[in-house]
Amino acid sequence: MPSYADMRKDYTLAGLTEKDLARDPFRQFEKWFQEAEGAKLPEPNAMVLSTCSREGRPTSRTVLLKGLDGRGFVFFTNYDSRKGRELGETGRASLLFPWIALERQVMIEGSVAKLSREESAVYFHSRPLPSQLAAWASPQSTIIASRAVLESAMKTVEKKYAGQEVPLPPSWGGYRVSPETVEFWQGRRNRLHDRLRYRREQDAWIVERLAP
């Protein structure tokens, strides 16, 4: 059995100071994202999405960032999935980008709203055809008897939409997380990490340093 308590690494790659930061968190995120791409990290747009039920039961999973602008961070999923239901119940979520190879994390908290059907349709039809069909075939987060059930459903929708445009499923679309805080975390020696957080205050972003 591995000795989890003995697993440790000192972080030495970089530091993060207030003068390093862009004027808003979106520009700072884009800067770090480009560096993650340049470092050839696998799927740098992979992010851990955490939601919570109205009863206070949290859950997390990895999804992919598919859009970013001054309004927020965009991803797509099934509205009837567990995350979709919980987003509908609370309207809030957190995101985590774990760029471990760069000894960095970005943590985002904010409110969530659905994209318009028009916006969702544009992205849906940009996806590979098998991915479009899978959105119809998979009743995400529900219990199924076997993988064979899923594969059978996929064959059914392949036949149904053969030779025609696959319509956007009514239960599938995008969400935008509008951040209220965005924290940039850079690992440092001796666990004295740099944590700089942007906090939205009316129409301005306030930068605060947090103790590690």
The residues, any chain, with a CB within 8 Å of residue 143's CB and separated by 6 or more, are none
Q: List strand residue ranges (DSSP E) for 20-70, in order.
A: 46-52, 58-64, 67-69
Please give the residue that has the higher pLDDT: either 4 or 196: 196
pLDDT of residue 6: 87
Is residue 1 scored above 90 in pLDDT?
no
When the candidates are 2.30.110.10, 3.30.390.50, 3.40.50.450, 3.40.120.10, the CATH number that belongs to 10-125+168-209 is: 2.30.110.10
Percent of the chain predicted with pLDDT > 70: 100
CB 196 within 8 A of CB 44: no
59 phi, psi to nearest 5 deg: -150, 150
18: number of Cβ within 10 Å: 10
What pTM, to 2 d.p., does this model score?
Answer: 0.94
CB 138 within 8 A of CB 153: yes
Taking the C-alpha atoms of residue 39 and residue 44, their distance in angstroms, rounded to an integer, is 9
Is residue 77 scored above 80 in pLDDT?
yes
Is residue 2 scored above 80 in pLDDT?
no
pLDDT digits (tens, 9 = 90+) for 32-69: 999 999 999 999 999 999 999 999 999 999 999 999 99
DSSP state of 108: E
Q: CATH 2.30.110.10 spans which residues of the chain?
A: 10-125+168-209
The residues, any chain, with a CB within 8 Å of residue 150's CB and separated by 6 or more, are 137, 138, 144
- CA nearest 65: which of 47, 86, 40? 47
Q: How many degrees, rounded to 5, is the angle at CA 75 between CA 199 and CA 156?
A: 165
Active-site residue list:
191
